[in-house]
Amino acid sequence: MDPQKHLQDESALAGLAPADQPTSHTLNEILTQPLAWQAALESVAHAQSALKKLWLEKRFSEILVTGCGSTYYLSLAVAPLLQQQLGLRARAMPASELLLFPKTVVSSDSLPLLVTISRSGRTSETIRATQAYKAAQQEGFVLNIGCYNETELVALSDLALIIQEGQEQSVVQTRSFSSMLVAAQAASTILANESQLSQMQILLTTGWQIISTYHDLARQLGQNSSFERFYFLGSGLQYGLACEANLKMKEMSLSVSEAFHFMEFRHGPMSMVDEHTLVVGLLSETASSYELAVLREMRALGAQTLALTEHPVSTQDVDYQVCFRSGLPETQRSVLYLPVLQLLGYYRAIARGHNPDQPHNLTAVIVLEPGNN
Ligand code: F1P
């Protein structure tokens, strides 16, 4: 069956989309995204031997991860994961930095593995950065993660993990982002040889449970007109996801929002906190006591606070919480933060009279004309 048809099948939404909501492909894609996560796991499982061969044969000195906009934020989530799991230095940067300032990114005596992330495979900066990397690195190797085959970026890659079921009509990335994140975490699990890929299947049932359990909370918070600004806090593996949540809020609802590392928020930005503020914390596994202290302090300054967390936290610490209870390690469950954060931006947009299917000023892909920068 055509993956697109299957994923857009309204029956997949039965009981998920509120009856009073306008038909929206962005909402459909958010609510059905666990189907694309399944496809991502299958895609990586099929590439298992090629991934292991890559890792055994090449002696990379470091890993560079790159993309643009949402896929740059995805790179920010993937690089620390790879460094933590593979023990190799890994950095994320926007493709434009790799393209325009290569000496600030790649040291001359290194052999970096370049991981490119791109939903479309057609973004000019990412293509040009890859071309520049290949010209400079004779022994280089490019691993691409995307949603479309037969693109210029796939043609430039030595190995591509493509999740066609991540394709979407929406301009803003939702299902594509989360399916590429699952693919990256699955690939890292394989290369680290630490745990079984099969246990990531739990993501699917947990994803459906989170969407159905917390859909109303996301809608309630999104529709709360007393909020004038939003702050998304994340550290370690979660900082890139906090940046993506911030972008969803901006792209869809045109709201004032920013993303920070958790402990950075006290160093100035918290001056903006008042009773019209929602502070959203993406709690980590190992630093949650520090992170909850920040949320408690912001609550004392008048903000309302939402925590997304694997394990339940005290209602003394936060106003609202989304609990995953997946049983998965932090290196395999990042995707579970995303659905509620995407729905928060979606319902804020609707409440403000915007159409998330037609985000202001945006197109799905940035293609720069040849000769134009
Ligand atoms: C990247 C991009 C982002 C933008 C939005 C749409 O395209 O254009 O720059 O933030 O998410 O996608 P791609 O290289 O991932 O196709």
Q: For 127-160, how does the pLDDT look when each residue is reduced to its tens digit (9 = 90+)?
A: 999 999 999 888 889 999 999 999 999 999 999 9
Query: What's the CATH fold of domain 201-351?
Result: Rossmann fold (3.40.50)
User: What is the dihedral angle through the alpha carbons of 322, 38, 326, 298, rounded to the nearest 10 degrees?
Assistant: -30
CA of 155 to the centre of ligand 1 (A): 19
Question: Residues 277, 315, 211, CA angle at the centre, nearest 5°?
Answer: 75
Taking the C-alpha atoms of residue 98 and residue 130, their distance in angstroms, rounded to an integer, is 9
Question: Residues 148, 85, 323, CA angle at the centre, nearest 5°?
Answer: 80
Any ligand 1 atom below 6 A from CB of 13? no
Which ligand 1 atom is nearest residue 364's CA? 6
Same fold, 3-200 and 201-351: yes
CA of 292 to the centre of ligand 1 (A): 32
In this structure, the residue with its CA closest to atom 8 of ligand 1 is 365
What's the pLDDT at 138?
85
**CATH homologous superfamily of 3-200:** Glucose-6-phosphate isomerase like protein; domain 1 (3.40.50.10490)
Any ligand 1 atom below 6 A from CB of 51? no
CA of 76 to the centre of ligand 1 (A): 14
Taking the C-alpha atoms of residue 262 and residue 117, their distance in angstroms, rounded to an integer, is 25
pTM for this one? 0.94
SS3 314: coil
Q: Where in the chain are the domains?
A: 3-200, 201-351
Any ligand 1 atom below 6 A from CB of 75? no
CA of 57 to the centre of ligand 1 (A): 32
The pLDDT tens digits for 291-316 are 999 999 999 999 999 999 999 999 99
Task: Look at the block and give the residue holding tokens 């949650």.
Answer: 288
Which ligand 1 atom is nearest residue 120's CA? 16
Q: Which of 17-26, 266-275, 307-316, 346-355 is the least confident region?
A: 17-26
Residue 3 CB neighbour total at 10 angstroms:
15
Give the mean pLDDT of 225-252: 98
Whether the per-residue pLDDT at 58 is higher than 90: the answer is: no
Any ligand 1 atom below 6 A from CB of 365? yes
Any ligand 1 atom below 6 A from CB of 366? yes
Which ligand 1 atom is nearest residue 126's CA? 14
Nearest CA among 94, 89, 61 for reference residue 75? 94
What's the pLDDT at 373?
67
In this structure, the residue with its CA closest to atom 1 of ligand 1 is 68
The pLDDT tens digits for 4-22 are 444 445 445 545 677 666 6
Any ligand 1 atom below 6 A from CB of 118? yes
CA of 51 to the centre of ligand 1 (A): 25
CA of 342 to the centre of ligand 1 (A): 16
Which ligand 1 atom is nearest residue 171's CA? 6
How would residue 57 be classed by pLDDT, with cut points 50, 70 and 90? confident
What's the pLDDT at 6?
44
SS3 269: helix
